[in-house]
Amino acid sequence: MEVLNKNKKAVASRFILLGLILLVLGMTFGLIGSFQYIIPGFAKHILSFEQVRPLHVSSVVFWIISGAIGAMFTYLQEYNNKAIFSTLLLKIQFYLFLSTFTLICISYLMSVFGGREYWEFPPILGIPMLISWVLLIINFFKSLRTLQHQPVYIWMWLTGVIFFLITFLESYLWLSPFFRNYIIKDITIQWKSYGSMVGSWNMLIYGSSLFCLEKISGNKKYGHSKIAFLLYFTGLFNLMFNWGHHIYTLPTHHYVKHISYFVSMTELFIIGRIIYLWKSSLTEAQKYFHILSYRFIVAADIWVFLTLLLAILMSIPGINVYTHGTHITVAHTMGATIGINTFLLLAFGFDILYKGKHHQQYARLPFWILNGSLFIFWISLIIAGILKARWQMDTHQIPFSSMMIQLRPFFILFTISGTALLISISYFVYLIMRNYLSNKK
Ligand code: HEM
């Protein structure tokens, strides 16, 4: 392995920079989609909702994956105090990643689909993604010196990179007639793979957040502590088995649902721990709150709490029957990908790319606007979801169009808060980019 220098480290940062651009692009597509909720046919001749939705979802999913890769490799180098095994491999992976994303966007713009929900692009484009992930795994394992006495974040990264590969392959099993020809088997595997894939990228991101916290606090003990490993195993257990609430509505084996229901409830342990540590974490937060990265990690902790609360409620079969296919699911997905994933990745963005002191006076108001607007955004989707769930189960259903008129005020609120969200997140992206570019000169 080569000695770590600024240029070698910068290759990993490219993933974060690319991710930040995709984030702004993705949110712009999301905003167009939200306008289409309230103004039917809005900009349809340029981009229909069928195109805007996958453009939005793919851009933000690539933001999360790209940011997670960039943070993991940067922190791995800092941990080893050495460059990774091969910067050339990482560069190849970067260009593969970028060109695949570009081709995906082109295919959506040309209305060429052929994939499944979340990966709606033609399946052939899964091949370069797969190659790029295999390169990542080689680079990751070759950069590890040993597996003995490693801190919890190394195990989280390791689990995340392997499970992402497994679940990615699993999400394409439908290509084989053996799965595709049996609808229940097909959908069960499909929905299961997405649930576990999110668990895999969460492993990469949570691992980096622990490394970042150790860096800020200077306390290296937590990464080796029993509680850190206990939480890691709870997360791993959930990654493997808690996807059952995705398939409650399918007529599949009951034991699968019972096991996953039990596993989902182990997440109560994580919730309980957050509440138990609430007071001491507040005192600690006051100590480091002036550091922007830390501030984003604290905000993400609150969103872990809110998201888990909603997820646990959604895992109760009696409630799941109502929430399935409503905006409550969208609230759950967006709450987690924005409040947890995006906030943590922004924390890493500030930690890795921002040099010098953060100008807090410029960040305080946007930070609160960001959190407030996300909360309103989330709540408006939940209320719209509850109203739709009530309509779905009503024996004397009013027409669909009348139900949609009832939801309109909440969609307007969703669009207004979504605009504030887009502006405030873009502001933080601008702060990071401006600082990075001015330090590069
Ligand atoms: C960091 C920013 C964001 C992330 C990570 C994100 C993530 C996502 C994800 C994962 C979905 C798919 C949800 C599902 O199928 O369950 C989604 C859907 C959507 N998002 Fe976002 N989103 C972001 C910001 C925004 C913003 C700012 C807006 C609007 C102003 C927006 C509007 C939408 C719309 C309209 C949908 C489609 C929902 C549907 O299918 O009915 N998103 N987003």
* 28 pocket-lining for ligand 1 (C-beta < 6 Å): no
Which position has the higher pLDDT, 224 or 8? 224
* Predicted confidence (pLDDT) at residue 140 exceeds the cutoff of 60: yes
* 30 pocket-lining for ligand 1 (C-beta < 6 Å): yes
* Lowest mean per-residue pLDDT among 204-213, 247-256, 306-315: 247-256
Phi, psi at 119, each rounded to 5°: -115, 70
- The CA 338 to ligand 1 mean position distance, Å, reads 9
Q: d(Cα 123, Cα 106) in Å, to the nearest integer?
A: 14
Q: What's the mean pLDDT in 266-271?
A: 69
3-state SS, residue 3: strand
* Predicted confidence (pLDDT) at residue 103 exceeds the cutoff of 70: yes
pLDDT confidence tier of residue 59, bands split at 50, 70 and 90:
very high
Q: For position 101, what pLDDT does the model report?
A: 98
CA-CA-CA-CA torsion for 135, 137, 140, 142, nearest 10 degrees?
Answer: -80
* Predicted confidence (pLDDT) at residue 220 exceeds the cutoff of 70: yes
If you take atom 32 of ligand 1, which residue's CA is the nearest one? 30
Phi, psi at 82, each rounded to 5°: -145, 155
Of 282, 415, 299, whose CA–CA distance to 346 is shortest?
299
Q: For position 10, what pLDDT does the model report?
A: 84
- The CA 164 to ligand 1 mean position distance, Å, reads 22
* Predicted confidence (pLDDT) at residue 1 exceeds the cutoff of 50: no
Q: For position 393, what pLDDT does the model report?
A: 83
- The CA 153 to ligand 1 mean position distance, Å, reads 29
Q: What's the mean pLDDT in 304-322?
A: 86
Best mutation site among 56, 58, 63, 64 for ligand 1, i.e. most ligand atoms within 8 A of its Cβ?
56
* 330 pocket-lining for ligand 1 (C-beta < 6 Å): yes
Q: What's the mean pLDDT in 311-330?
A: 86
Which position has the higher pLDDT, 110 or 232? 110
Cα dihedral sign for 250, 175, 264, 348?
negative
The answer as to CATH 3.40.640.10 being correct for domain 273-441 is: no
* 334 pocket-lining for ligand 1 (C-beta < 6 Å): yes
Contact between residue 174 and residue 190 where contact means Cβ atoms under 8 Å apart: yes
The pair of three-digit structure tokens given for residue 237, joined into one six-digit string: 């257990």
Determine the atom of ligand 1 nearest the C-alpha atom of 23. Answer: 1
* Predicted confidence (pLDDT) at residue 271 exceeds the cutoff of 90: no
> How far is Cα of residue 143 from the mean position of the Cα atoms in its chain?
25
Q: Which residues pair with 3 in a beta bridge?
A: 82
Average pLDDT over all residues of the chain: 89
* Predicted confidence (pLDDT) at residue 440 exceeds the cutoff of 60: yes
The per-residue pLDDT for range 199-212, each reduced to its tens digit, is 899 999 999 999 99
pLDDT confidence tier of residue 276, bands split at 50, 70 and 90:
low
- The CA 337 to ligand 1 mean position distance, Å, reads 9
* Predicted confidence (pLDDT) at residue 95 exceeds the cutoff of 70: yes
* Predicted confidence (pLDDT) at residue 291 exceeds the cutoff of 90: no
pTM: 0.93
Half-sphere exposure of 373 toward its Cβ, with a 13 Å CA cutoff?
19
The DSSP H or E segment spanning 220 is none
